[in-house]
Amino acid sequence: MVLIGYKKPENAAEATERLRYQIRLNHAINLLVCRQLIRDGADPNTVEGGMTALMWAAQHDNAGVVKNLVALGADPDFKNHAGRTAMIRAVRSGAVGAVQALLDVKVDVNACDNHKKTALMHAACVAGNSLVIDLLLEAAADLEMKNRSGRTALYYATKDSYVTKKLLEAGANMDVRDVADLTVLEYASDEYGGDTPEDKKHLANLTSVFKEEEIRRTTKAFQDAAAKGTSTSRRVIRRAVKAGYNAGQ
């Protein structure tokens, strides 16, 4: 592809400096120009303002450019000063195509930022990000990794009851506690336990999601025990009673 008005840099240093300029343009960045500059010798991992060209491509959901830049030498696991990667930039933007492109080039799906937050945790912070979370779960993102606050992705998923349900069904630990000794529901109560009708409805929905999952897991434990011909453990019975499970139903 011929880029109209593009002038080939004289050397790698000039190419890199022009790449920095493109990155400084922020949302006005021309990713095709970035790609050509890298082809002409620019350092593909040049950082400007905490961003690389690959990070911008991921954030803009330009899957084609993401793959091109990686093929040209951009490191898909490169971290900026905050420890954030192109994947973290992509998931925070809900950039489904870029997330898939990064997974295709075998990015480290469990890479953490400086606060030990994974891409899955960042994705869970964005309400309505279920498609991105589906991709991360399919790529075996770790549900039990904890950040510096001792919180797993499930804590942040409580912003969206549908995403909470998705992580629970994927096997997220319901009984985990953070460094403040808060369970996920206790954390959610602190975050969303306001007096507005919306807050009350959201917290009620979350509580219902946890209750349903508790019943589902207890039911499965009974079924597994029956299939093995073993007696149900006292622990399973206690969980069943706690969940309000009726064995006769």
The predicted structure's pLDDT at residue 247: 40
Residue 165 to residues 160, 162, 175, 183, 247: CA-CA distances in angstroms? 9, 5, 15, 16, 23
For residue 25, report the phi and psi dihedrals to the nearest 5 degrees. -70, -10
The answer on pLDDT for 127 being more than 90 is no
Condensed to tens digits (0 to 9), the pLDDT of residues 212-235 reads 999 998 888 888 777 776 655 556
Using 50, 70 and 90 to split pLDDT, how confident is the model at 248? very low
- Where does 1-108 sit in CATH, by number? 1.25.40.20
pLDDT at 240: 58
Tell me what pLDDT residue 134 has.
96
Residues 6+ apart with CB under 8 A from 11: 41
3-state DSSP assignment of residue 118: strand
Enumerate residues 6+ apart whose C-beta is below 8 A from 129.
91, 94, 123, 160, 163
Could you state, in order of their start, the residue ranges of all structural domains in the chain? Answer: 1-108, 150-249
- Predicted TM-score (pTM) of this structure: 0.85
